Structures are given as structure tokens and as C-alpha cells.
Chain A
Amino acid sequence: MMNEMNFKMPASLNELALNLDNADEKTYLISGGTDLIIKLREKKIYSGTIIDLKGIQELNYIRQIEQTICIGANTTFTEMIHSEILIKNAPCLVQAAEQIGSTQIRNAATIGGNIANAFAGADAIPALIAMGVKVKMMNAKGEFFLKDIDEVVIGSGKNSLHKDEVITEVIAPVLGHGYKSFFGKVGSRERVTIAKLNMAVVVKNNHETGVIEDARVVLGSLGPKAFRSDLVEIELVGKYITDSLQTEFEKALITQIDISIAGRSSRPYKREAVKALSEDAFSNLFGSPAWRCNNEK
């Protein structure tokens, strides 16, 4: 019907593929609903087709298969926070999940929805980029394909999915020995806040030499989409963990902010805010300053 909202309730991926067959620009996929329902109301969209993914039980899981962690698209942030697999292998993802919205939002909102919504200040996305995840998708033919998270989230509120495609899974590698990860954010208040700046860091520290061998630093809320900052990463790789490295790390972050949002009114605030974030990242990843001094070479 022209002026009605249709509602599809697939119970399996097979049924979902059939529902996707006629998908057009008036087809909306809903999972937790915390973003879509607000959007439909804001844009006064009263007709079209809503496909509810929440009834698809086979999209709700967190599994470890050897060196890979698979997270079903319907997994909520509350479920991620309580996942032993993620607590052990992907602390930055758990830290991001913990800081998303409120208890009510975390109980409903899903990882698949957070990616598809592609909000520039989304908290899970920087952590997913830092983890180097791949996103598994399915089309109306029931075919599955993989893309890097960076190819799925392509801009502010923009994803690269066609109307007849759906995110089904997030695939994260188990980070090897010596890897640590961190997520932090700064907003206008401590909790239930939209990030004015957020950051995920994954580092590999060689315990024998004390040198950082690999670093991925992802910044969010600094542009249309979260991105890896080469200039900050270069500052870390090959270095010993010292207090002066922390200073250099902070300086590099400020430089990145100056480049990314030159001329923006939020720049002075974010230059200051990133200092607290860099301190949090350092103490979280490398322990207290006292511990670091003892290891200085």
C-alpha cells in the first residue's frame, strides 16, 4: 500500500533474504530501534516497509573460533559487556560498549545497528576499526560477503550497504601475545553522553625489549567518520614506554586535532580534552607512571 507502513518479521536468515528481495529506498531495517525510530519520527516517515531483524535468533551470539571472534549483528551492548570472550580478548570493545548511552539503550542497541547507523560520534566504531574487524553482510540472494569496517562505514550517517543488503556479523581477530587495547571518550558529562571526542588504541608491547611494536590509534568525532591517525601511530611505534613518550603521544594527538578540525570552533576544547584522554589511554595500557619510570631505558 502507498500510505501504509508494512512490517516484516523474518525468523531466519533465509526468510530475511526473501524479505530483502524487493527492498527499495523505503525499506528500513530495524534491530534495537534506538536510532531508527527517532529518525522515522524526525523525518515524518509514515509509509514504507520495516524489516525487524530482532526476531532472527541466529544473529545473536558471541563466539570464539580459534583465532577469530564472531559477534552476531543482533548482539546488544549489554551482552557484549558481559561476554567473557570480549572481556578477555577485546577490552576496547567492552569499554566502548559500557560507555554507550544508558542502561536502557545498551539493553536494546546492537552492534550491527551501530555500524549501519554510521554516526560520526559512535563509540563502538573506533574500537572496531582499531581491532581491525571485518563486517559480514548478506544480500537478497542469501550470499554472504566480507568488507573491512572502514569500507562499510563511509561517512557521517552513511554506510556502503545497498538496500537489499544486511549486516549479519562482525568478525574480529584475537589479538596476539603482547597486545592491549583501550577505548575512552570525552563528552559534556561523565555518563550518558554523546562523544565530543573518542579514541580507541590497540598496541603491541614487546615485553622483552620494552618496545612498542605495533600501534593503531583511531579517533572519532573529529570528522565525518572515525579514522586511524598515522601521525600518532608513528609516534608510538618503535619507542620505549616512558613518561616522555606520553608527552609526545599527547602532542601528536593535538597536532592531529589541529589538522582535522582546523578553523572549527570546537578545536580549542578538543585540544584540551584530548590531554585527559591521552593520560587515560597511557595509564590504562601501560600502568601507572611509577611503573613506567622503573622500566625506562
Chain B
Amino acid sequence: MELIINVNDIEYKLDVNPRMRLLDVLRENLGLTGAKEGCGEGECGACTIIMDGLAINSCMVLAHQARGKKIITVEALEQDGEMDRLQEAFINNGAVQCGYCTPGMLMSCKALLMNNPNPTDEEIKIAIEGNLCRCTGYIKIVRAVKEAIQNQ
């Protein structure tokens, strides 16, 4: 079934089985492997992407439901060889360890800053409550987001 989908400002015309999830299409059809499948049931957030300005789990939305929506994946954070200030701040603060959660974590934080440029600590915590990280203990991630806010 034909699917026209806008990912990272590029419009794609694809042939997609209706039972495929957005995550499957991003990874398998478009080769955008930043979003990861961790749990496949909305617990871990490793598959987080931004759809029409909001963070969502791409494992819990069908690809065809994303028709006409604007999708942003972690691959679009870097622009013209320049990292997003969030990515810089994650590196500066040691907020990346094994790295599996990082793309999802970055997208949850990016969605937060797109909607709320000056979040409180509490708002940062709520924004990433759906992203599991077993390495950092979250403190460094929150610190990185706060640094990214400062560097706006």
C-alpha cells in the first residue's frame, strides 16, 4: 500500500504493508537506524521520534498513521556538520555511556525544548520519564539538558 511520508524534511513515496510500524519503516525502508527497538511496548523510549512537534514511541504507531505528518528523527539533529546543542551538551556531560538510549533520549529532550525553551528540572524529568537509561543514572542527562538550555 502506498505511503507518502515526510521524514526530516524529505518526502518519501513508499510501498508499505499496513501492519508495519513507523519504527520498521524508518529503520528498514529508510535506513534511519537511530531510533532503536528496545521493548516494543512503550516502556523504554529507545524508539522515540518527533511527530508533528511531539515525542512519540515509533514502535506504537503504524507507519500509515504517519501519513501527512512531519517526522523528525535523531539523524536530523546534526545540520551541515554541526551538532545540535543538545548533542554537544550530552557529550560534554558524559550523558552518553552505552549509547542505546541516546537517540530516543535526545529526541525526547529535543521535543521538550521545541515546545518549552526554558523547562524546570521537574519538566525535564517528566519529558524523559518514558526513556530508560541503565548507565547514566539520569543525573548527567538532566545536567546536559540544562547546559543546552544555557547555551541557547
Contact = CB atoms under 8 A, between A and B. Distances in A.
A276 interface: no
Given A9-B64, A33-B60, A37-B61, A104 B45 contact: yes
B87 interface: no
B19 A5 contact: yes
Interface stretch (A15-23, A38-46, A62-70, A171-179): A38-46
B42 interface: yes
B57 A50 contact: no
Query: In terms of DSSP, what is the predominant structure of the interface of chain A?
Result: mixed
B19 A9 contact: no
Contacts of B61: 32-33, 37, 108
B129 interface: yes
A260 interface: no
Interface stretch (B48-56, B78-86, B141-149): B48-56
A191 B127 CA distance: 12
A78 B79 CA distance: 30
A292 to B, nearest CB: 28
A103 B126 contact: yes
Interface residues of A, number: 27
B141 to A, nearest CB: 14
A108 B60 contact: yes
Nearest to A102: B130
B17 interface: yes
Interface in A67-118: 78, 101-105, 107-108
Contacts of A102: 42, 45, 129-131
Q: Which of A7, A37, A54, A104: most chain B Cβ within 10 A? A: A104
Contact of B55 (A37, A54, A107): A107
A34 B40 CA distance: 10
Contacts of B67: 9, 55
Contacts of A55: 67
A101 B64 contact: no
A78 B53 CA distance: 13
A52 interface: yes
A294 B13 CA distance: 69
Contact of B19 (A40, A101, A103, A108): A40
A191 B59 CA distance: 21
Q: Which of A32, A37, A52, A105: most chain B Cβ within 10 A? A: A37
Given A52-B62, A54-B65, A104-B42, A46 B54 contact: no
B55 A104 contact: yes
Interface string B116-137: 0000000000111111000000
Contacts of B130: 101-105, 192
Given A102-B129, A104-B42, A34 B60 contact: yes
A9 B63 CA distance: 12
Nearest to A6: B18
Interface in B74-112: 108, 111
Nearest to B55: A104
B1 interface: yes
A104 B56 CA distance: 4
Nearest to B53: A107
A30 interface: yes
Nearest 10 pairs of A and B residues by beta carbon: A102-B130, A7-B18, A107-B54, A5-B19, A104-B130, A5-B18, A104-B57, A34-B60, A191-B129, A33-B61
13 contacts: A5-B17, A7-B62, A32-B60, A38-B41, A40-B19, A50-B19, A52-B65, A102-B131, A103-B130, A104-B60, A105-B42, A108-B60, A191-B129
